[in-house]
Chains A and B, each alone.
Chain A
């Protein structure tokens, strides 16, 4: 059954004011186009969950979409601070809930596996445990040391960008896998954005590369260049210049507003955004191919 629809329709149908949204991807495959569409549709009071909020949530917070963030590393990766989020937390304007990376993805793993809680070994760094009441300790029923436990995270919607998917949502992902699979299984609804929609035969030619099954997917959207300024392995490079420039731009509210007006409200969709970036940026982000050696599944 085809689940193909436009990204606009998918956001309209599956993201509601007040929802908990998990836009997945650890540095790689961050679905910026979906974040921009949420901003354009004026969604409010969202709880934005991501291990690394990255620029996508900095922009969504700047646009007034969020009530709360859930995170484990509040930085602009390799650059410095996420200035908008940081200011909103320092001033008390934004609620937040904080974990370590392992805590954050363990919550997703518990959600994905249908568990009531998930154990982790102690780290002796107790201040975060004391600050976030979701961290608890339980005794080991087999007599070992107490373990630290966290409850599952079940986002209302996970948005997962992939290299290629079929119309049902079976998705191939390669490169950094982050928490893509766990976020999809943990969420109540799943929106897949794909660089390419491909025939079922292509997915079935390499089933070990399929991370997400179609039956947990609600919508499949063809969105080439969805990740910019993040990247899609093998398709286009990370726009590090953008990440560096955002550090300066986000110091100034007027410049942030101007960015939102020009690059988010001022464009209709990702295609227009990509065209507006222009040839120099396209050329800068081009990657040379590096093919893997083919595998032989055998014809049985």
Chain B
């Protein structure tokens, strides 16, 4: 079956979620990945939205992070201060999804600014919830198209911490979360090695190691064994296209 780059990323990110995970959901493609997981292998996925919604069961695709469909039929609604303190800071979130304009060799993310902070070349939206999600969720996943400009050796601005300058620095800073565990792109998947450096661990069908290297801004290493991901199956694509995103906004 034919599928798009976005569908490939969504399906692969969904498969990383485990049944029973508590996940801090972002809008856009992470929202689709979480809802897909809940409708396939992870029926007990608990979806939390930073607006203060716990156990959401959205009946339609929410455009914004604060859509009313997240509230109707959810299990609990609380203030934003509660969601960030009682849920995230306290350690009650298993998985966080992150995104940004730049992701570097150690999984640090820039969603704030390209160029100097005070005289920006491009001003981006900034942290929102991602600074704390990256620090305190047990595992973080990142979904992004694989382009060289998105993967520089070092981010211009560290909006949210990955492994900072290498493994060990997270623990030294006292961060409770384990940091970025997988970067899902349209070419494959990168995961941190023992030093916290992102390396190739999986490729999508038909993709070569060199393609991934050519589209990465640092000297990207490959794991000794590289897995080939299973292509999206009929059922996953049907749920995405017919149930979750019938208008094809994220196709």
Contacts and interface: CB of A to CB of B under 8 A. Distances in A.
B27 interface: yes
Q: Is the interface of B mostly helix, strand, loop or mixed?
A: loop
A121 interface: yes
Interface of B: 27-28, 50-53, 62-68, 70-73, 77-81, 84-85, 88-89, 108, 112, 117, 119-120, 122-132, 134-136, 157-161, 164, 169-170, 173-176
A182 B51 contact: no
A94 to B, nearest CB: 11
Contacts of B89: 102, 120-121
B127 A231 contact: no
Contacts of A73: 125-129
Contact of A27 (B66, B77, B123, B174): B66
A179 interface: yes
Contacts of B173: 122, 124
A123 interface: yes
Contact of B174 (A100, A122, A175): A122
Contacts, number: 176
Contacts of B72: 290
B228 to A, nearest CB: 34
Interface stretch (A37-45, A150-158, A217-225, A232-240): A232-240
Contacts of A109: 81
Contacts of B68: 28, 175-176, 231, 233, 237-238, 287
A92 interface: yes
A228 interface: no
A123 B120 contact: no
Interface residues of A, number: 58
Contact of B158 (A28, A77, A125, A287): A125
B123 A121 contact: no
A291 to B, nearest CB: 11
Nearest to A27: B66
B129 A124 contact: no
Contacts of B73: 290
A248 interface: no
Given A26-B80, A73-B125, A121-B174, 8 more contacts: A26-B52, A72-B128, A78-B27, A86-B123, A123-B175, A176-B66, A182-B79, A244-B63
A27 B65 contact: yes
A78 B80 contact: no
A288 to B, nearest CB: 10
